[in-house]
Amino acid sequence: MLRSLKLATAFLFLSLLYSCENEHQGDFQSDGFELLYESDEYEIFHRGKEFILEVVHPYPGASTPEYYHLHPRYMEALELENVTHHIPYPIDGIAISSTTHLGFLEALGMGDRIIGANNPQLFYSTEFNERFKNGEIRNIGGAKFDEELLIKLNIDVLFAFALSPSDLGSINDLRESGIKVVMISEFLEADPLKKAKWLKFFAVFFGEEKLLKSNQLLNAIEAQYLLIKDAVASQENKPTVMMGYPWKGSWHVSGGASYQAKFFRDAGAEYIWSDFDQTGSVPLDIEVVLKKGANTDFWLNPGDKQSISQILESNDNFSSFSAVKQEQVYSNYARTTALGANDAWEKGVVRPDLILADLATIFHPAVLGERELYFYKQLEP
């Protein structure tokens, strides 16, 4: 009883805190819902123990948001304008379609609720792989969902994502079969901390206690992130950095307003493509990158290459790169499996502080003192 009272008090405090921070008036104010949290890509409203989750862009460029009404299991779904998806919580059986979904769920201690996943062999987590090996997690498909299996699993929610309107066809088919699908668009966030804060979105599906836990975790992560950012901000030297690797005749680089570019800025580096204002990737001719990248101090994320010699085997022109000559080439493939899983795309989404610490250690090794890289590694010659 005391524990419940503490949770209720803390939840009321969070509600008042976010109400003060945001003057945004949501579309559900007339129904008695108050804005609890907003980010660029989602919003959370609440009324007592009910929640409305808004996903601003269910897919890139979407003009219509999706709304989900979450209500306690003992309460019937209510008619609400614009809301077509009603989900009782706390949820139990879950299916996921992205490694990032696992990162969020494991951070909340809810990884054991997962009973289905797309391409489960491509997940890094040891606990997840043990459960997959034991048959506790089923493969729900690759490019196409296994609708029959999803129905058989009787899941409470499938967390999914869409890269274009055409992806919604299979999603709508699942919904017509009675499967509750929630669209996750964390990949559209251009700020590492805002991307991590999708943890709050996932937490709501498990109730107030997990929502409180998500806030505690995120407060600690943000504090550490900002501490590192401030530590490198005073450094006069801003080393230059390039990233990526050519693929099928083009070199896709992250735009200057992207998630990756924000990491570089916060880690005290000068990204050579910072003048591009895109949040996504920009395809360039290889020759353009060869010319501009030749004198950069660091080269990061050269695909799955495991050594500098592997890079040179594919294109000897890279031998003229300053970063190659000085052996300042780093990969975010430090935590991977033989099948291609990468923890940087899993745990990394909810731990931007660890990624920033790696980058700060690479660009300004004296600032954070001696520490081992976590997601990154320096390529051997």
Kindly state whether residue 223 falls inside one of the protein's structural domains: no
Q: Which of 158, 193, 218 is the last residue of a domain?
A: 218
Find, among 195, 135, 168, 190, the residue nearest to 350 by Cα. Answer: 195
Q: Are 96 and 118 in contact (CB under 8 A)?
A: yes
Query: Residue 2 — very low, low, confident or very high, per pLDDT cuts 50/70/90?
Result: very low
Farthest CA pair distance, the chain:
69
Q: Are 330 and 298 in contact (CB under 8 A)?
A: yes
Question: Residue 19: what pLDDT?
Answer: 40
Kindly state whether residue 363 falls inside one of the protein's structural domains: yes
Q: Are 94 and 159 in contact (CB under 8 A)?
A: yes
Question: Residue 105: what pLDDT?
Answer: 99
pTM: 0.90
- For the segment 183-209, what is each residue's pLDDT rounded down to a tens digit? 999 999 999 999 999 999 999 999 999
Specify whether 265 is located in the same domain as 208: no
Strands (E), the chain: 34-38, 42-47, 50-55, 66-72, 85-89, 94-96, 114-117, 138-139, 157-160, 181-183, 240-243, 250-254, 270-271, 281-285, 298-300, 329-331, 377-378
Domain residues for the domain of 36 are 2-218
Specify whether 270 is located in the same domain as 325: yes
Specify whether 133 is located in the same domain as 247: no
* pLDDT for residue 146 is more than 60: yes
Specify whether 162 is located in the same domain as 311: no
Kindly state whether residue 149 falls inside one of the protein's structural domains: yes
Q: Which of 151, 185, 218 is the last residue of a domain?
A: 218
d(CA 143, CA 189): 24
Question: Residue 20: what pLDDT?
Answer: 40
* pLDDT for residue 215 is more than 70: yes
Query: Residue 118 — very low, low, confident or very high, per pLDDT cuts 50/70/90?
Result: very high
Question: Residue 27: what pLDDT?
Answer: 65
Specify whether 315 is located in the same domain as 278: yes
Query: Residue 30 — very low, low, confident or very high, per pLDDT cuts 50/70/90?
Result: low
d(CA 312, CA 324): 9
Mean pLDDT of 43-61: 95
Specify whether 240 is located in the same domain as 209: no
Q: Which of 193, 218, 243 is the last residue of a domain?
A: 218
- For the segment 154-172, what is each residue's pLDDT rounded down to a tens digit? 999 999 999 999 998 899 9
Specify whether 133 is located in the same domain as 249: no
Kindly state whether residue 348 falls inside one of the protein's structural domains: yes
Kindly state whether residue 199 falls inside one of the protein's structural domains: yes
What phi and psi values does residue 53 have, to the nearest 5 degrees? -105, 130
Specify whether 124 is located in the same domain as 176: yes
Q: Are 96 and 103 in contact (CB under 8 A)?
A: no
Kindly state whether residue 225 falls inside one of the protein's structural domains: no
Q: Domain total for the chain?
A: 2
Question: Residue 142: what pLDDT?
Answer: 84
Specify whether 239 is located in the same domain as 323: yes
Specify whether 249 is located in the same domain as 374: yes
Q: Return the CATH number at 90.
A: 3.40.50.1980
Question: Residue 24: what pLDDT?
Answer: 36
Q: Are 357 and 228 in contact (CB under 8 A)?
A: yes
Specify whether 239 is located in the same domain as 209: no
Specify whether 252 is located in the same domain as 369: yes
- Which residues are CB-contacts of 298 (< 8 A; sequence separation ≥ 6)? 239, 240, 241, 242, 269, 323, 328, 329, 330, 362, 363
